[in-house]
Structure 1
Amino acid sequence: MAALLALATACGSRLPESAFGTRPTATSPSGGEPLRIGIISSATSPVGGDAFTGPRDGARAWFDALNARGGLDGRRVEVVTCDDGGSGVGNNECVHRLIDERKVFALVATTAFDYAGAPLVSRAGVPDIGGQPLTPAYDTYPHLYGIYGSSAPRTGAAPGWNGELYGGTEVYRWFKRETGARTAAVVSYNQAASAAYARLVTQGLRAEGYRVVDEQVDFALPNFRAVAADLKAQGADLVFDALDTHGNTRLCEAMDEVGVRVAAKVTNVQNWSSTVSRDYAKSPVCRNALWVTGSSRNYAEENHPAVREFREAMGQGPLSQWQLEGWAAAMWFTDAARACLAEGSLTRACVERYVNRAEPYTARGLLLPVRFEKLPEPPKTRHTCLSVARWQDDRGWVTQGDMDDDCATVPQLGYRP
């Protein structure tokens, strides 16, 4: 994911005062001083105006609902947001403002294009709960807890194990088993981060026995029609990509124009939203071949009580998987805080003990089990489960199977971020 979102170059500038805001709450329950929580997001990043706002919006909805029910033992939660503008300089400014000036107790649902301030957060000992791992920070620094967990030592010295991270092949195995696909294409830009991510996907596909077709387009002047024509000629069953959302929509349009038909056009959690019909309006065939995989329960599963609660709190606007994961991050912090209050004292150390428990966290079934292990050596294999959904115009995102049952023991492949 980090590679997908590093396709644009951020430039730094000092943030204006208007970049920082305090979220108004539905009620103001009594109980002393409010508990101040910070949320950093790259709301105005070069990637796009709403590319990084989903987790923030989901977390704010959770805290609004919590305050409406009386807060944490009668203590209101005050949410302070900061838009870092998608730059490292801006991110450092956000960290300074939230931690040093606003004195937030913790960060929740961080979604930063360039998490340059991560070492400052770690040195301050401020827990960052449920952030999106768009950079290697959540596999590098102590006190940072990504929404999907980590097995890395996280000493602050280097990402993962001596600078190497590991990923599994569960996605590729699932599609091979469920669709019978044998030929997979990987489309990337001729840009370093995109190409590196594409190499990782290619490595995983080959480990699962696919014939892989590598396609690369120019980042500045991409010729997606030529790529689509070759996909058709090569007989690709599946299409994976290392592209941004705009590139994905243009690739789909080219595939429809050329007449490419695939079993699945596999996209990522960032594109798992209710706006698919609008975003892919010009490519109806490709749109209905969109599949997505992730580590959280489909936001469209209205029959699940935790999903239903999320949807009711979000109201009538567009919904996304990142919103649901932001909601789960805020729930995670709240559950930790409540456990600490039950013990008699809400401290940062207590919150981190809760997050570091041996018992995995699931946010009432919204997340696949999350844990933090700090293994001295990288695992060679891992038993991993998978959440899968498919887009259908008349139904939206339709869950495929059950994420608690779609599991496999797969090899872990190393890569350098």
Structure 2
Amino acid sequence: MLAGAACGSRLPESDFEERPPAPRGSRQGPPVRVGIITSATSPVGGSAFTGPRDGAEAYFDRLNDRGGVGGRKVEVHTCDDGGSGVGNNECVHQLLDEKKVVALVATTSLDYAGASRVSKAGVPDIGGQPIGSAYDTYPHLYGIYGSLAPRDGEPGWDGELYGGTEVYRYFKREHGARTAAVVSYNQAASAAYARLVKRGLEAEGYDVVTEQVDFALPNFRAVAADLKDRGVDLVFDALDTHGNAQLCKGMDDVGADITAKVTNVQNWSSTVAEDYKGAPRCRNALWATGSSRNYEDTDHPAVREFRDATKGAKVHSQWQLEGWAAAMWFTDAAKSCSAAGSDVTRGCVDRFMSRGEPYDARGLLLPVTYERRERPPKTRETCVSVARWRDGADSGGADGAGSADDEGWVTQGEMNRTCFDVPQLSYQP
């Protein structure tokens, strides 16, 4: 740093990235390189984190079939970090330094250890899943759900993150729920999320029961028995798909009768019938909440396009749809560069991302905002996307209603109108 100061001022590298545009009408040019880092293999399981990657790749495949960005193909480079910090740093080095990608898209990492290196290099990371606190910590990182934090190198505001109580308000208002349980692993990210859920439920007036299971050797049946004994009618979790399925099986085994088993966006997928095959009662009490439009809503044109492009996939999931939206977000940023007569560079893409305007991916996302507020908001109007799983007639459902074609996630209200002015509560990551 002293040597740099002695040599005078130094402009950021992004200022040297701009190049004269190709002649008008030219369809030639090198591919636009993007990177996708995924914990495709990890302690959580082989397919736990691959949904966003698959959705993004599907979007880029269709984009390239239609000519790419200004006639340039998008060249996708994927890297499996193995769910470790060491592996993540290796992926960051490979994609940024060796492949020279313009941006990262749909990052889904169990341990995003290389986040500070991505930020320092000025590489925009677009539409990643906020499994940790990186997207509320560093500039140039834009998670799929947005952030209002300063992002100055410290998580949130003075190390505190904030979340709203809109989900708990929804179930209280719509279903009269009063007693709720929160089940988590004894793992840092899971436990931190569970603490936030507990505080939110308490803020909304619930009686709260907390349960924690060992990540390596979980005893879900014992948890289920305790939930039954305590008369819990609403269950939240900070678990993966396998953990949710085992918890549900335990609840069916002990005869626990609940109003709703509420899960997160990671478990919002078409594999429910198979994953929860041993728990038909709990399966038909599954609800999922998130910030993106239900992938089953094929009446919506943007969802229909996603489903058409992925109709050959064996599995569909909400994370796939969000990966598709992340790729769309990058593409809109890249197109803005071309429209302005600029090359598609890291700096140009980042300017689009940081312009401060909400983004909704053609209606696939609740409007995503990235700001840098000095202080966290005390309250905020927040909307929520809600869906409930229903079995078809041939799937062994609890009620046997409908047909096999009816099986799937059923949207509960329009997400852009299911909104609440709720408190924002702090928690430590």
1:190: Cα distance to partner? Answer: 4.0
Q: 1:323 corresponds to which residue?
A: 320
Secondary structure of 2:236's aligned partner:
strand
Q: 2:378 corresponds to which residue?
A: 380
Secondary structure of 1:398's aligned partner:
strand
Q: 1:292 corresponds to which residue?
A: 288
1:264: Cα distance to partner? Answer: 0.5
Q: 2:351 corresponds to which residue?
A: 353
1:243 aligns with 2:243: no
1:276 aligns with 2:272: yes
Instruction: Determine the C-alpha separation between the residues in 2 that align with 1:141 and 1:193.
Output: 18
Using the size of structure 1 for normalisation, the TM-score is 0.91
Instruction: Determine the C-alpha separation between the residues in 2 that align with 1:403 and 1:94.
Output: 36
1:153: Cα distance to partner? Answer: 0.5
1:71 aligns with 2:83: no
1:220: Cα distance to partner? Answer: 4.0
Secondary structure of 1:63's aligned partner:
helix
Confirm or deny: 8 A CA contact 1:168 1:410 kept in the other structure.
Answer: yes
Secondary structure of 1:404's aligned partner:
helix
1:221/1:83 Cα in 2 relative to 1: closer, same or farther (>3 Å)? closer
1:301 aligns with 2:258: no
1:363: Cα distance to partner? Answer: 0.2
Confirm or deny: 8 A CA contact 1:30 1:76 kept in the other structure.
Answer: no
Q: Which amino acid aligns with 1:320?
A: S
1:30: Cα distance to partner? Answer: 4.9
1:406: Cα distance to partner? Answer: 0.2
1:249: Cα distance to partner? Answer: 1.0
Using the size of structure 2 for normalisation, the TM-score is 0.88
1:216 aligns with 2:212: yes
| Unaligned ranges ≥5, structure 2 | 1-25, 393-406
Instruction: Among all aligned residue pairs of Structure 1 and Structure 2, give the percentage whose two residues are the same amino acid.
Output: 74
Instruction: Determine the C-alpha separation between the residues in 1 that align with 2:132 and 2:215.
Output: 21
310-319 vs 359-368, greater mean Cα deviation: 310-319
Confirm or deny: 8 A CA contact 1:228 1:251 kept in the other structure.
Answer: yes
Instruction: Determine the C-alpha separation between the residues in 2 that align with 1:199 and 1:391.
Output: 26
Q: 1:252 corresponds to which residue?
A: 248
Q: 1:36 corresponds to which residue?
A: 33
Instruction: Determine the C-alpha separation between the residues in 2 that align with 1:127 and 1:233.
Output: 49
Confirm or deny: 8 A CA contact 1:357 1:371 kept in the other structure.
Answer: no
1:245: Cα distance to partner? Answer: 2.2
1:233: Cα distance to partner? Answer: 2.0
275-284 vs 335-344, greater mean Cα deviation: 335-344
Post-superposition Cα deviations, 1:170-208, rounded to whole Å, max 9, x if no partner, equal 010001111101111112234444333322211110100
Q: 1:145 corresponds to which residue?
A: 142
Q: 1:25 corresponds to which residue?
A: none
Secondary structure of 2:363's aligned partner:
coil
Confirm or deny: 8 A CA contact 1:32 1:75 kept in the other structure.
Answer: yes
Instruction: Determine the C-alpha separation between the residues in 2 that align with 1:383 and 1:268.
Output: 20
Q: Which amino acid aligns with 2:198?
A: T
Q: Which amino acid aligns with 2:79?
A: C
183-192 vs 108-117, greater mean Cα deviation: 183-192
| Unaligned ranges ≥5, structure 1 | 1-28
Confirm or deny: 8 A CA contact 1:253 1:282 kept in the other structure.
Answer: yes
1:408 aligns with 2:420: yes
Q: When the two structures are aligned, how many residues end up with a matched partner?
A: 388
Alignment map for 1:141-220 (pairs within 5 Å): 141-156=138-153, 158-220=154-216
Post-superposition Cα deviations, 1:68-112, rounded to whole Å, max 9, x if no partner, equal 011111111111111111111111111111111111111111111
Q: 2:391 corresponds to which residue?
A: 393
Which protein is bigger by CA-based radius of gyration? 2
